[in-house]
Structure 1
Amino acid sequence: MNFDPFNELGGGSALRFDEGQQDDYCLPVASHSPETERLDYIHEVYKYHAGNVPEEVADILNDGTTTKILDVGCGTGKWALEMISAFPNIHITGVDLAHPPITVFPPNFAFHIHDVTKGQEYENDTFDVVHVRDIHAGMPDYHAMLTECVRVLRPGGYLLVKEIEWIPRLLDGGDAKARFPAICSDSFRDALSERSLDPMVGVNLKSYIDNVTALKDIQYSRHLVPMTPWSDDPILHYTGQMTRLAMAILGGTMRIMLLDHGESDPDGRYSAGIEELKDLSGQPIWVFGSIIAKKEGEMSSASDHLIENGDREESE
């Protein structure tokens, strides 16, 4: 399919078009460089701070059964590919608005183009794990999206969610807006709100999850990430570098949406933000929230699971 990452029809509106169909997701497609690089940089951050999956889920994925995973908004597909490499018995279904930059898919990785704002296309109780990461910038009804994820999750299965908080901070307690005015501008959050999107999903992630029925054993954590490589700790230095590289790209990818929002000089703010990212003082940080939750009910035993998957494959 031929994707145009930004189509400026309608006075520069930051909407994407695919063969005449439009969607409200406001950033470029994952297969479009440099967006591919930005998403992969942020993937590294999530992996090093929270892991690709928590230990209790890894234990299930290592038990020898065929575990079915749904990756909602799979982006570049890097998370899915790393998961398949680590857990060869799993099968991942990835869904997104555009094809990921993968030329050859492993046999246990299926990809479908689908707009999840319209719900999931799968039957109830289909997947053992549902993974959701950083898709709030395209979700006008985040609660409905989570409800659909739980619907297609098997009883006892795991829901994994991560979302960024769009509020830069300083670890030393200083005034982040005063020190980094371009980076801390409210324009991006205001532009999301203008599109009936909630820029505070990351901040309110626990509340969103608490209001979804049929979940139990909910674990919520917040992870502080260096915004620049100010830390002497090797891991934090690395994730700070990854963040700085990602943010340098994000300023450009937001350009059309900010113009559509009415910002007169997004390029000037972008340049100012690049300069601010060279400043390591104050230990600038950003935060993402992480959820691990189980669907009510009990997961089938290993033998039942193997039989079920075998019956399903024969029927297909």
Structure 2
Amino acid sequence: MPPPNFHEQIQVDTSDEDSLYDVDSVADSSLSFASTVRDYYYENGRRYHAYRYGQYPIPNDEEEQDRLNITHHLFKLLTGGDLYRTPLAQQSAPRRILDIGTGTGAWALEMAEEFPEAEIVGTDLSPIQPSFSPPNCTFIIDDAESDWAFPKDESFDYIHARSMGGGIADWERLFRQAYNHLKPGGWIECQEFEAEIHSDDGTEEMAPMLLDLGRKLDEASRKFGKRMSIASSLSGWIEGTGFTNVTEDIYKCPVGSWPKSPRLKEIGRVSKVAVIEAIEPYSLALLTRVLGWTYERAQDYVNKCRREALNSSCHIYVLYYFVYAQRPL
């Protein structure tokens, strides 16, 4: 498992591989996955969940499902293929696992394969998970911000949440519920990325639209009541809930194939696709519903940001946080 690389400066490859790409060719490289969506609402040419409509500002259509699966692949690339950072191997295998905001269910399905004796439960607002799943994996349509209905005799050994930034109003309440539904000694893990860019050489200043996008998303998501850039706050909230052994692993995820390292170069290729594909779904609802922009203005802004993400002279990266902690025995 590759260790966190937060304190390392990524060396730059001076070749210009990224110049071979354009927005359309990167978008077309997305893989297609089957969907079983049943509840939806259309807005700005995208499809959103109908159950508790408006609670989550990101679409649930097939295009978004493709993006989620690309992002799932990216998280695994960062950890060298592992689905989690929590030291589950150092204790008895978990028997019950909860995946909050399971999305397409990719993480839950792979955990069901890795832990065939465990019961995996995935919850989400959208019914976009596969119709057929292993017998030890169940998907439930539920709102993680509501009171959890799991009885006390069905506590979990491990609770996982990923990419929930922008979808939770009260994180401390969420962590209290997680604490109360974990067995003593059980673990929680949150995997999140920041909605802003960085660089080690100042070249992020060559991407003013992407810098502005980070500020716009933060402004709009705060007004919406569910802030998007919360990754750096997770460890404090978790520790404040009463969890112990709180660990924060931070990875620099390059955007583009500019790193010299072959491993980081491959991560950067996938990350470029993930970033370009994320700009529209993360932006449209917040810009139009919250900031009052027209669809035309928002779409023009999105297109400019996507074009800027292709600039191979910008040695930018996004910080990915893996935060895990244990309920005391």
Q: How high is the TM-score relative to the length of structure 2? A: 0.80
Alignment of 1:68-217 (within 5 A): 68-124=96-152, 126-172=155-201, 174=202, 176=204, 178-185=205-212, 186-213=215-242, 215-217=243-245
Query: Aligned match of 1:250 in 267, 273, 278?
Result: 278
Root mean square deviation of aligned Cα: 2.3
Asked if structure 2 preserves the Cα contact closer than 8 Å seen for 1:252 and 1:270, the reply is yes
Asked if structure 2 preserves the Cα contact closer than 8 Å seen for 1:119 and 1:145, the reply is no
Matched, 1:58 2:89: yes
Equivalent residue letter for 2:241: V
Asked if structure 1 preserves the Cα contact closer than 8 Å seen for 2:187 and 2:326, the reply is yes
Q: Relative to 1, partners in 2 of residues 1:126 and 1:266: Cα closer, same or farther, differing over 3 Å?
A: same
Equivalent residue letter for 1:4: Y
Asked if structure 2 preserves the Cα contact closer than 8 Å seen for 1:162 and 1:290, the reply is yes
SS of the residue 1:28 aligns to: coil
Q: What is the count of residue pairs matched by the alignment?
A: 284
Asked if structure 2 preserves the Cα contact closer than 8 Å seen for 1:163 and 1:288, the reply is yes
Asked if structure 2 preserves the Cα contact closer than 8 Å seen for 1:69 and 1:127, the reply is yes
Query: Aligned match of 1:263 in 290, 293, 307?
Result: 293
Unaligned runs of 5+ residues in structure 1 are: 298-316
Matched, 1:239 2:262: no
Matched, 1:228 2:264: no
- Cα distance, 1:103 vs structure 2: 2.3
Equivalent residue letter for 2:236: S
Instruction: Please name the residue that 2:71 is paired with.
Output: 42
Asked if structure 2 preserves the Cα contact closer than 8 Å seen for 1:94 and 1:110, the reply is yes
* C-alpha separation in 2, matches of 1:229 and 1:263: 34
Asked if structure 2 preserves the Cα contact closer than 8 Å seen for 1:165 and 1:201, the reply is yes
Bigger strand share: 1
Asked if structure 2 preserves the Cα contact closer than 8 Å seen for 1:92 and 1:109, the reply is yes
* C-alpha separation in 1, matches of 2:193 and 2:301: 21
Asked if structure 1 preserves the Cα contact closer than 8 Å seen for 2:49 and 2:126, the reply is no
The runs of at least 4 consecutive aligned structure 1 residues that moved more than 3 Å come to: 5-8
Asked if structure 1 preserves the Cα contact closer than 8 Å seen for 2:160 and 2:189, the reply is yes
SS of the residue 1:144 aligns to: helix
Equivalent residue letter for 2:327: K
Render the CA deviation track for 1:53-92: whole Å, top value 9, x for unaligned. 23621344xx5x6611000111111111112222222220
- Cα distance, 1:15 vs structure 2: 7.1
Instruction: Please name the residue that 1:300 is paired with.
Output: none
Equivalent residue letter for 2:293: E
* C-alpha separation in 1, matches of 2:106 and 2:197: 26
* C-alpha separation in 1, matches of 2:57 and 2:256: 25
Query: Aligned match of 2:315 in 283, 302, 312?
Result: 283
Asked if structure 2 preserves the Cα contact closer than 8 Å seen for 1:48 and 1:239, the reply is yes
* C-alpha separation in 1, matches of 2:229 and 2:264: 25
Asked if structure 1 preserves the Cα contact closer than 8 Å seen for 2:70 and 2:274, the reply is yes
Q: Relative to 1, partners in 2 of residues 1:284 and 1:59: Cα closer, same or farther, differing over 3 Å?
A: same
Asked if structure 2 preserves the Cα contact closer than 8 Å seen for 1:38 and 1:249, the reply is yes
Asked if structure 2 preserves the Cα contact closer than 8 Å seen for 1:120 and 1:148, the reply is yes
Instruction: Please name the residue that 1:304 is paired with.
Output: none
SS of the residue 1:223 aligns to: strand
Unaligned runs of 5+ residues in structure 2 are: 1-36
* C-alpha separation in 1, matches of 2:249 and 2:145: 26
SS of the residue 2:286 aligns to: helix
Q: Relative to 1, partners in 2 of residues 1:15 and 1:3: Cα closer, same or farther, differing over 3 Å?
A: closer
Identity of aligned residues (%): 22
Asked if structure 1 preserves the Cα contact closer than 8 Å seen for 2:97 and 2:118, the reply is yes
* C-alpha separation in 2, matches of 1:200 and 1:256: 16
